[in-house]
A and B are shown apart, each in its own frame.
Chain A
């Protein structure tokens, strides 16, 4: 039994369907998010379990994992990010093309977790903007899937011009990220 997504509201007739571009693009983006699993530690193993047959992330459209940032939409940061790793994370984020979303999985990525130490970055939102936070240590696969579903909500309802607004540019500037033109 395959469930197909519902089409948005629109004007229908013989051989044509009229709706707004926002909704169609949102629908397409939301159901084909290709993630980049930036798995560093224990949450990475829970992610591998989520990709497995029991919890199956692929049925949400995330069939193709890619480890190259140029071809992905969603940066899933799973695991502790140390201060040594933070520049690498920023570089990977910079290399992704718009539109891109960031999912911070696990307590360590959200806020440093149990490691309140000198070498651990206390949350990846110190270096990159984050869209959805999934707490847990490690979060259950169902929680990771819920995080992905919230990203899908964001992708579906996002306005097409959001990435061009001044507010977005100001937000990126606060992280010292150069916005690609």
Chain B
């Protein structure tokens, strides 16, 4: 099944509201809204054979006001060897998205990591808490406004590091 057939199938199932584009490396990028996610993954998994969830991650684009956060899902059809990338844009004021653990058990920790780094709230997740950082951390470190270094460290002189 090539990208055109897949694009037609996705358009059919989302009432033509998804924005599809093939990236220049031959993976189909599909931009959808948060409420279309669960149904689309349902039909992709059960009718088109995308039974493998490769990865969930997120990215922060602070210049895109109203769509600052983007959650990216990579799915893989192991039988026909086809991959697809679903992207959901979320605004900072309403950073909620339904959880994918209803379809894939492996989404559990991937969503916890995304929450830990960006603060994306996965509605319906069984156990949404920090996974890699310390539990009492009060900010989401991978957002662009936060620095990489620990600001309170005293032994390194920033002028020598070009900062």
Give residues in A with beta carbon < 8 Å to B.
83-84, 111, 116-119, 122-123
Contacts and interface: CB of A to CB of B under 8 A. Distances in A.
B133 A116 contact: no
A123 B154 CA distance: 12
Contact of B149 (A83, A84, A111, A116): A116
B141 interface: yes
Contacts of A116: 148-149, 156, 161
Contacts of A111: 155
Contacts of B132: 119
A45 B78 CA distance: 35
Contacts of B156: 116, 122
Interface residues of B, number: 13
Contacts of B146: 118
A123 B155 CA distance: 10
Given A116-B148, A117-B148, A122 B133 contact: no
Please report whether the interface of chain B is mostly helix, strand, loop or mixed according to DSSP. loop
Nearest to B155: A122
B64 interface: no
Interface string B119-150: 00000000000001110000001000011111
B155 A84 contact: no
11 contacts: A83-B134, A84-B134, A116-B161, A117-B148, A118-B141, A118-B146, A118-B147, A118-B150, A119-B133, A122-B150, A122-B156
A123 to B, nearest CB: 7
Contact of A118 (B149, B155, B161): B149
A116 B141 CA distance: 14
